[in-house]
Structure 1
Amino acid sequence: MKHLSLAIIFVAALHNANSVHLGSRIVGGEESAPGAYPWQVFVEGVANGQAISGCGGTIISDRHVLTAAQCFDGAQIARMYFGSFNITASDEPNRVLMETSDFTIHPDFNSVYDNDIAVITLPRALELNEFIAVANLPSGADIESDFIGTEGLLAGWGSPDGTNSLSPTLRFTRNTVIEKVDCEAHYGVDWMGPGKLCIETQDLNGPCYGDAGSGLIRESDKTIIGTFSFLDTRGCLDGFAVGFIRVGQLVDWINGIVGAKNIK
């Protein structure tokens, strides 16, 4: 099966809380507490002054956010909400809003979503605190690990009911990384290259539209295992495995950008 577009799902109702549809089935798990996942960022792709996509992202340094390449199809600017819980609220005390045109898409991102990853460089350093914090990139043995059997935490504002409406508040779910062969049988061997991994969603908790780019986090040490990239064309309510980009496979490329674009 092919993937469904996950990023180009920006909802006009995003800034109108009354229009956000919350179904009885919570695709994204549970509502978080404010500040529970301070590395999580809401990312909008903006073109001609209008938001054209809604995605997730992960803070990887005080100057950088990791997200999905697909989030910037046609975008000129990245707009980011840091320290946010309710993205429809206009008076969040811990929110920091930034915009930049400095984002780098992996040069080998392609039509089968290989290397679906991008790094956003911020215009100024974030002030890190209990609501805005950094997640760790894989290092050592984790760079080559396939993380089979590892439970990861995923947070985001993606659709809670399988529609094109985002959740106004941050939600989270925990899912386990499964054997790649289980995904190859579903998506095809050609689709599941070495830079991808999958998680189970049999309990109908998992990422959905608007969660592209959100990080799968190993909570014990706040390490980002993968970034959400694709799901089955039948949607996110049927319990099919969903796919991520393996961050460890691309950590050298990521570190090259982070090192080159730090404040001098």
Structure 2
Amino acid sequence: MFLHFGILLLLSQGLLGEVDVSEAIDGDSRIIGGQDATPGTANYQVSIRSHIGNKDWHSCGGSILNEEYVLTAAHCIYQENMKEMSIIVGTHMINKGGDRYKIKKLIPHEKYSRQTLKNDIGIVQIQGKFKYSDKVQPIELLNEMVPIGKKCLLTGWGLINYTKQTSPNNLQMLEYETISNDACSKRIKSSLYAGQLCAKRPNHKGACSGDSGGPLVIQDDKNKTVQIGVASGVVNPCASNYPDLFDSVHSFYDWIQSNIK
């Protein structure tokens, strides 16, 4: 979906089993421009799957909040049929591994706007409880403003080549740096909404379709990994020379907490 100011929502349409992980893809065409996530990292990462009949595909990312709830983008779950969706945790690979959970409830922000991308945050409640292990763990949310110029990390299974619509099998990661909303607005030539967070990345690298809902994280002062943002949109096309847009978990902290109790 394209918005009036050229923002592309990062939904994936790639079917599972049709991913292309050719070794011919060079090092500059991965998350786009990322690299395979280090084993043992991002044990909070989830893959939100859509399925119709025997077709099953990764549609969005998300993060584990606790034993029952996942944080994601509102546009990943807005007006979707939860019976045609599921959550997979505990694997870095799309085509195998991990545990699958059915969905009990979809909770997009009640003031989410599909037209403007405002309040693009949502929660998924699973049926049952996640079974924690060294590959499945919740992540804490940072409930304070993120410093400008802070290094951060995005993980996801979004397209690694926008032109060829190529999807990865292995979880990808890419380093970002937080910038002020004023600097971001000037760069993308559009005002940001309250609750949006902007981060820049190297040229020709960045989030793309399938990375929606994915966690943007930092290392806090105690060297703990905490989540600061939820992947929301990019200036079209992916990996162009613009910052990427996230929703700030600090801005929506109270809303999140009120919906996971």
- Tell me the TM-score normalized by structure 2: 0.86
User: Structure 2: how far apart are the matches of 1:45 and 1:108?
Assistant: 24
Offset at residue 28 of structure 1 (A): 4.6
* Cα deviation code 1:4-47 (max 9, x no counterpart): 1311x2212x2245x45673222151102333210011112456
Could you tell me which residue of structure 1 aligns to residue 159 of structure 2?
159
- The range that moved more, 23-32 or 207-216, is 23-32
1:69 pairs with one of 50, 53, 74: 74
Partner of 1:221: 224
Q: What residue in structure 2 maps to residue 107 of structure 1?
A: 110
The residue aligned with 2:39 is 34
Aligned pair 1:4/2:8, yes or no?
yes
Please name the residue that 2:260 is paired with.
258
Distance 1:229 1:53 in 2: 16
Q: Which residue of 2 aligns with 1:83?
A: 90
**Alpha-carbon distance in 2 for matches of 1:74, 1:201:** 32
- Asked if 1:185 corresponds to 2:171, the answer is no
CA contact (8 A) 2:212 2:231 kept: yes
What is the aligned partner in structure 1 of residue 250 from structure 2? 248
* Larger fraction in strand: 2
Deviation at 1:173, TM superposition (A): 0.9
Q: Equivalent residue of 1:255, what SS?
A: helix
Question: Quick one: distance in 1 between partners of 2:73 and 2:54?
Answer: 21
In structure 1, the residue corresponding to 2:254 is in which secondary structure?
Answer: helix
Q: What CA distance in whole angstroms lies between the structure 2 residues aligned with 1:4 and 1:203?
A: 17
Q: Are 1:232 and 2:239 an aligned pair?
A: no
Matched residue, 1:128 = 132
Deviation at 1:166, TM superposition (A): 2.0
Cα distance, 1:244 vs. partner? 0.4
Deviations 1:183-223 (A, max 9, x none): 21133444x01211111123433211110000111133221
Paired position in structure 2 for 1:118: 122
Give the distance between the partners of 2:169 and 2:102, measured in 1 at CA: 20
- Provide closer, same or farther for how the CA distance between residues 165 and 75 of structure 1 changes in structure 2, counting only shifts above 3 A: farther
Cα-Cα RMSD? 2.1
Q: Does the alignment pair 1:174 with 2:175?
A: yes
What letter matches 1:148 in structure 2?
Answer: I
Larger % of helix: which?
Answer: 1
Return the letter of the residue paired with 1:169. Answer: N
Contact in 1 for aligned 2:108/2:122 (Cα 8 Å): yes
1:43–1:79 Cα contact (<8 Å) kept? yes
Evaluate the alpha carbon distance shift between residue 49 and residue 255 of structure 1 in structure 2; reply closer, same or farther with a 3 A threshold.
Answer: farther
Residue deviations 1:105-156, cap 9 Å, x none? 00011121111011111111112111001110123xx1xx143111111111
* SS of aligned partner of 2:227: strand
Unaligned runs of 5+ in 2: none
TM-score of the superposed pair, with normalisation by structure 1 = 0.85
Code of the aligned partner of 2:34: G
* 1:60 equivalenced with 2:65 (yes/no): yes
In 1, are the aligned partners of 2:207 and 2:239 still within 8 Å (CA)? Answer: no
Question: How many residues were matched structurally?
Answer: 246
- In 1, the alpha carbon distance for the partners of 2:148 and 2:51 equals 36
